[in-house]
Amino acid sequence: MATAIFGGGCFWCTEAVFDALEGVSLVEPGYCGGHVERPTYEQICGADTGHIEVIRIEYDPSVISYEVLLEIFFATHDPTTPNQQGNDVGPQYQSAVFYQDDQQKTAAEAFVAKHDASGVWPVPVCTKILPDQKFWVAESYHHDYFANHPQQGYCQFVIAPKVSKLVKLFGERLKNK
């Protein structure tokens, strides 16, 4: 098994996307990059701890590669808006890749460079490519949020469209095809 850590806005959204993928055994919401030990969600929302909302993904690289995870990550959030995803605004929503080794760093940097050069997005990617940092698991009520609250407004209007995009673009990669 291998680990990937991505911050793509609200971790409820990214968790729902990556949890659906074949080869992914665990997705945990949490926080990375800050200066406060054992941060709480309320502290993170104060926007002064330096943490980014992230997910930690445990995956089987023989089933799904890191490069495919990167492709899905960049396709299911906006990597061009600093400190923001839609109506979620603040430094805790920064797009980020916390690489686990030099191979992941090289892959993430190459992915960003390739897509910036291609003009896929109208402005440059602002995703931070950062070294691995302490991962703090989020409070239990954040885990499986979309699965546990599918009728909640945020889930219907923000998360469900991301999951639909995943199905449309990467349907062959889903656990329950």
Query: Among all residues, which ones are annotated catalytic?
Result: 10
Q: What are the DSSP E strand ranges found in the chain?
A: 2-8, 24-32, 52-59, 84-85, 88-89, 95-99, 128-131, 135-137
Phi, psi of 77 (to 5 degrees): -150, 170
Please state, in angstroms and rounded to a whole number, the distance separating the CA atoms of residues 137 and 30.
4
Query: Any bridge partners for residue 54, and if so which?
Result: 30
